[in-house]
Amino acid sequence: METQAARTHTEFTDPNLDVMFTADEISTRVKQLGQQITKDYQDKDIVLVGVLKGSCVFMADLMREIDLAIEIDFMAVASYKDGTVSTGDVEIIKDLMKPIRDKDVIIVED
């Protein structure tokens, strides 16, 4: 039985769209980003802040590639009217749970 996770990305998109990056290319780039963050943030107090809901899967993959102790938190924001047109005003739906003062913050957004 095929699971949703096993399906290809193109099964969930318009058949007229072209795939820009393969799953392998994305995986390779996520590993590179994780390695770069590990290198750049040694001995720093970092927090990954995911912007819900689109960042969840990417953020989980990225966290696995960062070889540091990290904190995570999430925000939810809205700026769309009727789901397709941005109003330009950002409304915070869910704010951070912990203070981020004096920490290096990496925002993960789709």
CATH number of the domain within which 71 lies: 3.40.50.2020
Q: Is residue 15 part of a domain?
A: no
How far, rounded to the nearest angstrom, does the alpha carbon of residue 97 sit from its chain's CA centroid?
Answer: 18
Give the alpha-carbon dihedral of 38, 43, 47, 50, to 10 degrees: -10
Q: Is residue 8 part of a domain?
A: no
**Domain range enclosing 42:** 21-108
- Predicted TM-score (pTM) of the model is 0.76
Are 46 and 59 in contact, with CB atoms under 8 Å apart?
A: no
Place of tokens 């789901």: 83
* Domains in the chain, number: 1
Q: Is residue 10 part of a domain?
A: no
Q: What is the pLDDT of residues 21-69, one digit of tens each?
A: 999 999 999 999 999 999 999 999 999 999 998 899 999 999 999 999 9
Q: Is residue 75 part of a domain?
A: yes
* Predicted confidence (pLDDT) at residue 10 exceeds the cutoff of 60: no
